Amino acid sequence: MIDSRSHNLNRLANELWDVLIIGGGVNGAGVARDLAMRAAHIPGGLRIALVEKSYFSSGTSGRNSQLIHGGLRYLKYGDFGLVREALHERRTLLEIAPSLVHPLEFLIPCYKRFDRLFYGTGLTLYDALAGSHGIQHHRSIYAAAALRLEPALNAKDFRGAVLFHDAAVHSARLVLENLLDAEARGACIANYTELHRVPGGLECRDLLTGTAFHVRARQIIDATGAWSEAAPLRLVRGSHLIFPRIQAGPEALAHFDEKGRIVFLIPWGENNDLTLVGTTDADHHSGPDKVAISEEETTYLRSIVKRLYPDFREDPITSYASLRPLVVQTGRSATATSREHRIWKAADGVLHIAGGKYTTYRSMSEEAVDMLLPDLVPGRDIPCETATTPLNIPPIPPDVEGRVQMAVEREHARRLPDLLYTSTYWGHERRLSPDWLLPLARQMGELLGWSEQRIREEAAL
């Protein structure tokens, strides 16, 4: 097998890059794809590189609520512009990545007298902001009809439900597909490669070998999310629990707690036999590399499940947590802080992307590239094509061997977590045990030439 990663690292060390993107989350990946597409219209192209210090999409982009949504709750804070933009992007992503983004129906259970009217009014505005988009508009149903859909739902004081549509995404894979598309158009991408500023320039460290080398770039883009040191960001942790399937029907549930926070119960898993429950909003005070669900968050999410499904007795299988890097707004709670993004060029010339939502990554990337191009190719106006060019996503092999091979040979998997959390979500879908991990590590090891010791180290995670 050709070692594409070594080849890319070699290129990184030896070429002069027009643009070097730091961070292989959705924003870095989106910018890489957009730039690579526009570069095709520039004589001589553009030399674009992207480095990610861990596995691709290992940050917030692979550990979020997996929704492409307008953000119903932002209506409450008057963020109409954000909701409209996100709904517009929802339509675009359904069109350009239909195998990874698909419509999902949500049910809002109503337990107070005017809830149906209240949510119905909000959703009328939501539908209006979405415009005509092929996704069905909301509807309101009586308690008996809702209980036919969800017979185990708490029937005490139940007054019916409102149903509406948004979309679900395999968020880690969509990042990967953007990166691979950029690579197919000439970009150089490298995982497990950390970028640092050092006196006199920039240094990359290959975290798999420990080797360090200098890189040279005309323009740097900071897409490091919660790791960015450029702006006063407020780090807000959001956590999820993964349960055996809770709801009976194919729909997700959207529950508003007494403070107006929304918690989703989303049908999940490759076998569709799980429920993803989240999320929380907790100010995070330790560093971005140390993120895990707290006991308080676990208790809170379990209490919501119990409130909605009082007879559900199962324990969560796994959990994951990640950070929202929000633009600081003094005096606002973690929940109320806006998800608006900010893109700006700092005095040292670095372009930063901060805040925002996964749903709006494509339009944010477009804005960032629009800002960058006049410096890279003065006098040229090259329109963005990412909204109208579908991602070329191959079918997923049906068997485990095929999946491992695809991860290693197509998707740059070089450690077991690449397979478990980006190429697939197998790692989130079950309790990890050495018996289950070892054969996977062995198969990866055969493709990558690992020693028996390395295979065992990978399986120990």
Residues 48, 223, 308, 413: which binds ligand FAD (CB under 6 A)? 223
Q: How far is CA 370 from the centre of its chain?
A: 23
The nearest distance, CB 64 to ligand FAD, in angstroms, is 3
User: Measured between alpha carbons, how far is 135 from 189 in angstroms, rounded to an integer?
Assistant: 35
Q: Which helix (H) or strand (E) holds 380?
A: none
Structure-block tokens of residue 143: 């308690």
Tell whether residue 53 is a contact of ligand FAD (CB under 6 A): yes
Which residues in the 21-50 window bind ligand FAD by CB under 6 A?
A: 22-28
279: preceding bond cis by omega (within 30 degrees): yes
Assess 226 for contact with ligand FAD (CB under 6 A).
Answer: yes
What minimum distance in Å lies between the beta carbon of 309 and ligand FAD?
22
The one segment of 77-85, 218-226, 243-251, 368-376 that binds ligand FAD by CB under 6 A? 218-226
Pick the closer one to ligand FAD by CB: 357 or 403.
357
Cα–Cα distances in angstroms (integers) from residue 315 to residues 243, 312, 319, 338, in the given order: 7, 9, 11, 33
Q: Is residue 422 a contact point for ligand FAD (CB under 6 A)? A: no
Least gap, CB of 12 to ligand FAD (angstroms): 12
Determine which residue in the list 58, 92, 178, 424 makes contact with ligand FAD, applying CB under 6 A.
58
CB 174, min distance to ligand FAD, A: 10
- For residues 252 and 373, which CB has a smaller minimum distance to ligand FAD in the complex? 252
Options 131-139, 209-217, 319-327, 447-455: segment touching ligand FAD (CB under 6 A): 319-327
Positions of E strands within 245-310 = 252-256, 262-268, 274-278, 282-283
- Give the binding range for ligand FAD (CB under 6 A) out of 9-17, 223-231, 370-378, 415-423: 223-231
Q: Does 222 bind ligand FAD (CB under 6 A)?
A: no
Is residue 416 part of the contact set for ligand FAD (CB under 6 A)? no
By CB under 6 A, is residue 235 in contact with ligand FAD?
no
Residue 302 vs 442, nearer CB to ligand FAD: 302
What does the alpha-carbon distance between residue 275 and residue 168 come to, in Å, rounded to a whole number? 13
Backbone torsions φ then ψ of 108, nearest 5 degrees: -100, 110
Q: What dihedral do alpha carbons 147, 152, 153, 158 form, nearest 10°?
A: 50
Question: How far apart, in whole angstroms, are the C-alpha atoms of residue 22 and residue 265?
Answer: 33
How near is the Cβ of 240 to ligand FAD at its closest, in Å? 7
Instruction: Please name which of 314, 296, 272 lies closest in space to residue 425, comparing C-alpha atoms.
Output: 272
Interface stretch with ligand FAD, choices 60-68, 97-105, 255-263, 391-399 (CB under 6 A) = 60-68
**Site for ligand FAD contains 8 (CB under 6 A):** no
- 67 sits near ligand FAD (criterion: CB under 6 A): yes
- The residue (of 343 and 437) whose beta carbon lies closer to ligand FAD is 343
Minimum CB separation from ligand FAD for residue 196, in Å? 6
- Sorted by sequence, the CB contacts under 8 Å of residue 346 that are 6+ apart come out as 230, 352
CB environment 160-195: b (16+ within 10 A), e (fewer): bbbbbbbbbbbbbbbbbbbbbbbbebebbbbbbbbb
Q: Is 279 in the site for ligand FAD (CB under 6 A)?
A: yes
What helix, strand, coil percent values describe the chain, rounded to 5? 35, 25, 40
The CA distance from 207 to 264, in Å, is 36
Residue 233 C-alpha from the chain's centroid: 19
Residue 339 amino acid letter? R
- In the complex, what is the shortest distance from the CB of residue 81 to ligand FAD, in angstroms, rounded to a whole number? 15
Site string for ligand FAD, 236-265 (x = CB under 6 A): --x---------------------------
445 part of the interface to ligand FAD, by CB under 6 A: no
CB atoms within 10 A of CB 381: 8
**What is d(CA 461, CA 458) in angstroms, rounded to the nearest whole number?**
5
Q: Does 362 bind ligand FAD (CB under 6 A)?
A: no
Among the listed residues 225, 269, 427, 445, the single contact to ligand FAD using CB under 6 A: 225
**Nearer CB in complex with ligand FAD: 350/382:** 350
Residues lying near ligand FAD in the complex (CB under 6 A): 22-28, 51-54, 58-61, 64-67, 69, 194-195, 223-227, 238, 279, 322-324, 356-359
